[in-house]
Amino acid sequence: KNEVEQSPQNLTAQEGEFITINCSYSVGISALHWLQQHPGGGIVSLFMLSSGKKKHGRLIATINIQEKHSSLHITASHPRDSAVYICVSRETSGSRLTFGEGTQLTVNP
């Protein structure tokens, strides 16, 4: 069974700080997603990675397939980045997705 672990569970930062959220998984995967969930519950897909690195604005996501590890970075953090960030792995066989428990990020002005 695939286990997906995120760290930290909670993260508080000051505006402008560089933020890193980590995700580790235990089995071979075909893709890893980073999601952002806002207080109202709505979820937005930020990235889908199968290798390497992707960048979108101030967000950067990396994945190391050999180490079964992915990171989400936020540069120049802003209070509007406050949300829960969730890592999701898609197993190589089939469509099953496994979710991490999420990282609650709070960015203070």
Partner 1 sequence: DGGITQSPKYLFRKEGQNVTLSCEQNLNHDAMYWYRQDPGQGLRLIYYSQIVNDFQKGDIAEGYSVSREKKESFPLTVTSAQKNPTAFYLCASQLQGLGAGANVLTFGAGSRLTVL
Residue pointed to by tokens 């402008």: 16
For every residue of 3-40, which 3-state class applies, written as one string? CEEEECCEEEEECCCCEEEEEEECCCEEEEEEEEECCC
Q: Does 48 bind partner 1 (CB under 8 A)?
A: yes
Q: Does 76 bind partner 1 (CB under 8 A)?
A: no
- Binding partner 1 by CB under 8 A: which of 23, 100, 105, 107? 100
Assess contact for 98 and 85: CB atoms under 8 A.
no
Amino acid letter, 50: S
**Interface stretch with partner 1, choices 56-64, 65-73, 74-82, 87-95 (CB under 8 A):** 87-95
Q: Does 65 bind partner 1 (CB under 8 A)?
A: no
- Binding partner 1 by CB under 8 A: which of 26, 43, 75, 78? 43
Q: Which is nearer to partner 1, 17 or 37 (CB)?
A: 37
Residues numbered 19 to 38 that lie near partner 1 (CB under 8 A) are 30-31, 33, 35
C-alpha closest to that of 24 among 52, 50, 4: 4
> How many CB atoms are located within 10 Å of the residue 57 CB?
9
Q: Which residues are at the interface with partner 1 (CB under 8 A)?
A: 30-31, 33, 35, 40-45, 48, 86, 88, 90, 94-97, 99-102
